[in-house]
Structure 1
């Protein structure tokens, strides 16, 4: 399929993990990519991997999504250089887990600023060009944790905020041909999951009805669907991609 031929897809946190998997998936369908990350060298390496595999047209930018001026300059550069922006994927995020009494002010603000405020900065900057062209897709990343998770007050607050933001973007964008949806991944094989110690990881994996973790490609497929014309009548939803862990506990 070439669903993204002629489309410009902008992705934050694109240098590794889910961001890289999604960039690779969109490139495979002909997208022109605008990739952003704070790690410039890792992003350059990722871009090389993508172009080697798919001969994709792309640009890379070092962007700190917590800085609205940097985000505005990035989106302006993308629309000037590539002519438009069709899809925005808000993927950048970090963890600073701890019990609530041990979360410092810095840890609270770091997680909120990257995962929630950063997503807002990007959506706000992309909204105007999307409205002008009468078309846009915004895919933002929540988490299975948005419903509440022990030791993640800051992260949960950010990811729950993404859900609320997404629903509001969907309302404001609907009459302008813009959809906004969120993806809530479960336990996916990413560098973030790799940092979890073995026993804790095994305990969580055993709670997944499918009894195994997901692949970055599973998330990439979900993003490629939600950002496509096939999902043009879907907006304001949270798509769980989690092997069934969000369903709840079984008595068996």
Structure 2
């Protein structure tokens, strides 16, 4: 029987690559995004596209209950605004907290109900190097750090039920999100990597799909860094 993966932020740079690779793995895919535009997989026979605003936290349980059994959840969606910490608009702060932290935790909570019953499941959370080193966008860093901590907490809670919960933490990736980062800062980050470049979306996607499909089951509650030596730990 074909497995089913739910991917948030599926139409973006990393999300689209994750979809590509799960299609290659012969999965059925539910793609969540606030918009799909010219999303290449919109009409694919194994991809169901659902336009959904992740800030509507209270509606997430209904979305999950309407879907077929989920084998893998990929919490990929995220926002970053790079606003100054002392002039951070309340609206953007609330949006960042909801999309980057509340929504993925709620999704894990809802998906875990069925995963515990079936005795298996894989959950992958897309965090960031910002979770480890601090970030000029205070609320981006705080939410990514919180999601990393939630990954570890859920691994403890769900691991005994056969559910694997892991995270990835990448440095800057060549996606449209990078447009909000100051060029001087980007240059410094690039210089700090061992090969002097940013990550490609497919490199991050490869890691997400590995964790979400076939990584050893003893890898649980872990975070895989994807930063080319920009931060050793």
After TM superposition, give the deviation of residue 65 of structure 1 in Å.
Answer: 1.8
Q: Secondary structure at the match of 1:183?
A: strand
After TM superposition, give the deviation of residue 151 of structure 1 in Å.
Answer: 2.0
Q: Greater share of helix residues, 1 or 2?
A: 1
1:65 has 2:54 as partner:
yes
**Between 29-38 and 62-71, the greater mean CA deviation after superposition:** 62-71
After TM superposition, give the deviation of residue 197 of structure 1 in Å.
Answer: 4.6
- CA–CA distance in structure 2, aligned partners of residues 150 and 20 of structure 1: 26
- CA–CA distance in structure 1, aligned partners of residues 189 and 225 of structure 2: 16
- Please report the TM-score for the alignment, with normalisation by the length of structure 1: 0.87
- CA–CA distance in structure 2, aligned partners of residues 184 and 134 of structure 1: 27
- Please report the TM-score for the alignment, with normalisation by the length of structure 2: 0.93
After TM superposition, give the deviation of residue 226 of structure 1 in Å.
Answer: 0.9
Q: How does 1:18-29 map to 2 (within 5 A)?
A: 18-29=14-25
| Cα RMSD for the two superposed structures | 1.8
CA-to-aligned-CA distance 1:48-105 (integer Å, 9 cap, x gap): 38x3xxxx512111112222333222211212xxxx1000000111012223211122
Residues paired across the two proteins, number: 233
Q: Secondary structure at the match of 2:17?
A: helix
1:166 has 2:151 as partner:
yes
Structure 1 gaps, min length 5 = none
Q: Secondary structure at the match of 1:223?
A: helix
- CA–CA distance in structure 2, aligned partners of residues 214 and 31 of structure 1: 25
The verdict on how the C-alpha distance between 1:176 and 1:150 changes in structure 2, with shifts beyond 3 A counting, is: closer
CA-to-aligned-CA distance 1:33-54 (integer Å, 9 cap, x gap): 0100111x42x623238x3xxx
Aligned to 1:85: 70
- CA–CA distance in structure 1, aligned partners of residues 222 and 67 of structure 2: 27
Structure 2 gaps, min length 5 = none
